[in-house]
Amino acid sequence: MPEIARLGQVSAQQTQRRGTPPSSLRARLRDDARLQSPGWILLPLRAFLGVTFVYAGLSKILDPHYLDSGSPLGVHAQMVHAATASPIGWLVSVSADHATFTGLAIAFGELAAGAGVLLGLLTRLAALGGMLLALSFFLTVSWTTTPYYYGADIVFAFAWTPLLLAGDGSVYSLGAAIRARVREELHLTPQPTARETLAARDAVERRVLLRSGALAGLIGGVTVLGGTAIALVRRTSTGATLTPTPASSPAGTGQPGEDDGSSTPSASSAGSGGVIAAASEVAVGAAKSFTAADGSPAYLLHPSADSFVAFSAVCTHQGCPVSFVGPGFRCPCHGASYDGSGQVTGGPARSPLAKIPVRVVGGNVVRG
């Protein structure tokens, strides 16, 4: 700071000669120095991680498949699959036996970590939570990704480290606001001074911790109660709508689970033997997405004039939905690829896409 002050005096004298008030220059130098503090430097990273983890947590809570233990897109299926290759497979297997609890803990953990750094409330603790979550994802979901840097989780784990070390630097921080209030109540100066006793500092830290914890507990409690209710209701309602209906059910009833947006009835609304598409609707070499009987995404392919095949669009690596990129499939999550017969051609997946039996009846492609 003495250098800055000296610089301020020299520049002030120079600029005074040019007519600029020295106080404005000093203010600018102070602003420059402030913007170079860790709190401001880490602000973009903090915002990105906060928004991303809040988004990830909310996506899980609002995903109707997430807690559905029968869905290949659910957290249970993902954990069972991850356990086979993870170095902490035994722990993942135990967690899979309590998939609902584990799934909610993951979702709310992401929400808490994201909200904590966004609000600047117990920021270091939130960063530690975010780092541990990212590390656990790296050891499970991303473990078989090669090369390792294709998986985002290892990057997230390291991205949390600066926030764990430096905190929020009192920039846009609820914790800093609480600390300022406590110091005021204790009749202390806004910033600690050299003459301040250890006992006074301890009193401040104790009160800040208690109030921050109480506020975090209040926000967390309301979020957990509301989020759990939403997640369980979403799972229950999905379980009802995903139950295959009899083959005689009217097609195209608009039930949830029909995702291809076409007027053609999907398998989910028609059950086994239901119409997936009119044979003429899918050109040779093209594909049509539909919803399988269990509510998961699937693709119908028309590889040659007289044949149709269908595959589950659930990636066998970690359950992300794959896209048809003719003539094969590609998973956006970790880059697995499959050929037109569902066989793995690249990436971390080791098993082929699940085949769905189909046949042509009366000009329609039906399941079965």
Q: Which of 106, 270, 333, 365 binds ligand FES (CB under 6 A)?
A: 333
CB of 24 to ligand FES, least distance (A): 55
Give Cα 331 distance to the centre of its chain: 17
Q: Which of 12, 82, 336, 356 binds ligand FES (CB under 6 A)?
A: 336
- 344-346/355-356 β-pairing: unpaired
In single-letter form, the type of residue at position 203 comes to: A
Residues 215/112, Cβ–Cβ less than 8 Å: no
| CB closer to ligand FES, 45 vs 88 | 88
Q: What are 304's strand-pairing partners?
A: 307
| CB closer to ligand FES, 123 vs 142 | 142
| CB closer to ligand FES, 152 vs 358 | 152
Q: Kindly state whether residue 353 participates in binding ligand FES, applying the rule CB under 6 A.
A: no
Count residues binding ligand FES (CB under 6 A).
Answer: 13
Annotate 273-300 with DSSP letters as a single string: T-EEEEGGGS-TT-EEEEE-TTS-EEEE
Q: Which of 349, 356, 358, 365 binds ligand FES (CB under 6 A)?
A: 349
| CB closer to ligand FES, 109 vs 321 | 321
d(CA 362, CA 354): 26
| CB closer to ligand FES, 133 vs 349 | 349
Residues 73/314, Cβ–Cβ less than 8 Å: yes
Q: Which of 348, 364, 365, 366 binds ligand FES (CB under 6 A)?
A: 348
- Chain residues 164-223 in contact with ligand FES, contact rule CB under 6 A: none
Q: Which of 334, 338, 356, 365 binds ligand FES (CB under 6 A)?
A: 334
d(CA 159, CA 71): 32
Stretch that binds ligand FES, among 110-118, 183-191, 334-342, 355-363 (CB under 6 A): 334-342
Q: Kindly state whether residue 152 participates in binding ligand FES, applying the rule CB under 6 A.
A: no
Stretch that binds ligand FES, among 208-216, 268-276, 292-300, 314-322 (CB under 6 A): 314-322
Q: Kindly state whether residue 317 participates in binding ligand FES, applying the rule CB under 6 A.
A: yes
CB of 316 to ligand FES, least distance (A): 8
Angle at 35 between CA 29 and CA 40, to 5 degrees: 165
In single-letter form, the type of residue at position 17 comes to: R
Q: Kindly state whether residue 315 participates in binding ligand FES, applying the rule CB under 6 A.
A: yes
Stretch that binds ligand FES, among 198-206, 242-250, 252-260, 330-338 (CB under 6 A): 330-338
Q: Kindly state whether residue 244 participates in binding ligand FES, applying the rule CB under 6 A.
A: no
Annotate 138-202 with DSSP letters as a single string: HHTTTTT-SSGGGSHHHHHHHHTHHHHHHTTTTSS-HHHHHHHHHHHHTT--SS--TT--HHHHH
Residues 149/21, Cβ–Cβ less than 8 Å: no
Torsion of CA 261, 264, 267, 268, to 10 degrees: 50
CB of 157 to ligand FES, least distance (A): 17
d(CA 238, CA 104): 17
Give the binding site for ligand FES (CB under 6 A). Answer: 315, 317-320, 331, 333-336, 347-349
